[in-house]
């Protein structure tokens, strides 16, 4: 929850990053699990808010030379069209980040598409022994777009949102800078097309402090049947992961398709979004991963929508019309 109000003059920095990945089977001197992606590009656009609209103030772009994963992963190459010689032309991460912090200046909120960028940024800062506190609020624009674009609970791509608002496609996608520019234009459109008070309220209730751990997860033991697998993680939802107090239910636990949901409540820490998902391992056993996180407005909608669907259609959910994207965390 954003504690300072958005007023005329409040600045936002919309950003995007690209990162290279370790190549499977290749030997590295480091434990690759502590650096799952090494940043190779940061792109950003600064906006100032005034009177219900956003005005663009400047663009930032840095290519970064990776030092650990210095050969481009084929998947990253396919998506970004970057080559090994492109990577070699970048500046060092410390220099690029320093410039980025200067560009952010006094902005109050970082804005991204999806929640993975801040996690990767903090991971890189930690890995390179730099201060990994970002000291700025973070807003994931993807659920805000879904909320106002009548796509609640769906995870849409930047390109989908660009088409939705009829934004002119002057550049390609999947460079950090072009994606940051497009994300900024989507942000502008959200303000243009909706009531200011509603947009500000959605932003304030969805912005998070990325320096505070707000998400907790466990993976249960494998079980032969799906019910036992779910029962194995149920205890995780009984106590607040921050203070240990008993959690009460605002929306009681229910199962729809292969997931269980609930909206839980701690008297000290507020609402928690709770979701468990069953997957099958290679042996054909079920295992359940379960997450608890401080609920954003979008999380609240997600649980409320699933509950509505459950009340109407039961455990199998609504008959599917189109394949739903299921890559959210
Ligand atoms: Zn608590």
| Per-residue pLDDT tens digits for 183-221 | 999 999 999 999 999 999 999 888 888 888 778 999 999
Q: Is the pLDDT of residue 327 over 50?
A: no
CATH code for position 48 = 3.30.420.10
Percent of the chain residues past pLDDT 70, beyond the cut: 96
Query: What gap in Å lies between CA 104 and CA 46, rounded to an integer?
Result: 8
Same domain, 138 and 182: yes
Find the domain containing 261 and state its range: 215-316
Same domain, 180 and 312: no
How many A from CA of 236 to the centre of ligand 1?
13
Mean pLDDT of 21-33: 88
What 3-state DSSP class applies to 111?
strand
3 is a domain residue? no
Check: pTM over 0.85? Answer yes or no.
no
* CA atoms within 13 A of residue 89's CA, in its CB half-sphere: 7
Q: Name the residue among 67, 8, 6, 59 with its Cα closest to residue 40.
A: 67
- Of the residues 184, 206, 228, the one at which a domain ends: 206
Residue 106 confidence (pLDDT): 95
How many A from CA of 141 to the centre of ligand 1?
27
Q: Is the pLDDT of residue 322 over 90?
A: no
Same domain, 276 and 309: yes
Q: Kindly state the tokens that stand for 235.
A: 């205890």
Same domain, 55 and 36: yes
327 is a domain residue? no
How many A from CA of 273 to the centre of ligand 1?
13
Same domain, 200 and 65: yes
Same domain, 127 and 228: no
Which residues have C-beta under 5 Å from ligand 1, the single-atom ion?
240, 242-243, 245, 266, 268-269
CATH code for position 225 = 3.30.530
Same domain, 187 and 219: no
Same domain, 172 and 194: yes
Q: Is the pLDDT of residue 317 over 70?
A: yes
300 is a domain residue? yes
How many A from CA of 265 to the centre of ligand 1?
8
Q: pLDDT class for 2, splitting at 50, 70, 90?
A: low
How many A from CA of 87 to the centre of ligand 1?
45
Query: What gap in Å lies between CA 314 and CA 324, rounded to an integer?
Result: 18
Render pLDDT for 148-180 as a digit per residue (tens, 0 to 9): 988 777 789 999 999 999 999 988 888 999 999
What 3-state DSSP class applies to 300?
helix
How many A from CA of 245 to the centre of ligand 1?
6
How many A from CA of 240 to the centre of ligand 1?
5
Dihedral over alpha carbons 27, 30, 35, 41 (to 10 degrees): -80
User: How distant, in Å, are the alpha carbons of 12, 97, 178, 190, 312 from that of 198?
Assistant: 18, 33, 28, 10, 28
Same domain, 47 and 188: yes
């Amino acid at each position: 929850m954003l504690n300072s109000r958005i007023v005329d003059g409040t600045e936002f920095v919309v950003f995007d990053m690209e990162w290279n990945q370790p190549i499977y089977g290749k030997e590295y001197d480091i434990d690759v699990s502590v650096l799952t992606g090494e940043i190779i590009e940061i792109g950003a656009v600064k906006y100032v808010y005034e009177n219900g609209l956003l005005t663009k103030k400047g663009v930032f772009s840095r290519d970064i030379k990776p030092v650990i994963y210095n050969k481009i992963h084929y998947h990253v190459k396919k998506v970004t069209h970057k080559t090994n010689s492109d990577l070699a032309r970048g500046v060092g991460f410390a220099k690029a980040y320093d410039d980025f912090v200067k560009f952010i200046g006094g902005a109050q909120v970082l804005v991204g598409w999806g929640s993975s960028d801040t996690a990767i940024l903090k991971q890189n800062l930690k890995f390179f022994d730099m201060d990994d506190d970002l000291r700025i609020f973070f807003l994931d624009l993807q659920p805000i777009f879904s909320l106002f674009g009548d796509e609640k609970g769906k995870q849409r791509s930047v390109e989908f949102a660009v088409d939705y608002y009829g934004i002119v496609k002057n550049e390609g996608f999947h460079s950090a800078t072009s994606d940051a520019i497009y994300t900024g234009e989507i942000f502008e459109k959200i303000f243009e097309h909706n009531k200011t008070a509603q947009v500000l309220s959605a932003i304030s209730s969805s912005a998070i402090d990325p320096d505070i751990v707000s998400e907790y997860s466990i993976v249960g033991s494998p079980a032969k049947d799906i019910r036992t697998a779910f029962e194995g993680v149920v205890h995780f939802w009984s106590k607040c992961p921050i203070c240990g107090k008993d959690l009460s239910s605002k929306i009681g636990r229910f199962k729809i398709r292969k997931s269980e949901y609930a909206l839980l409540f701690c008297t000290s820490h507020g609402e928690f979004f709770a979701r468990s998902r069953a997957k099958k391992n290679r042996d054909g056993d079920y295992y359940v991963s379960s997450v608890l996180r401080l609920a954003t407005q979008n999380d609240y909608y997600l649980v409320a929508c699933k509950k509505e669907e459950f009340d109407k259609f039961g455990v199998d959910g609504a008959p599917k019309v189109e394949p739903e994207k299921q890559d959210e965390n």
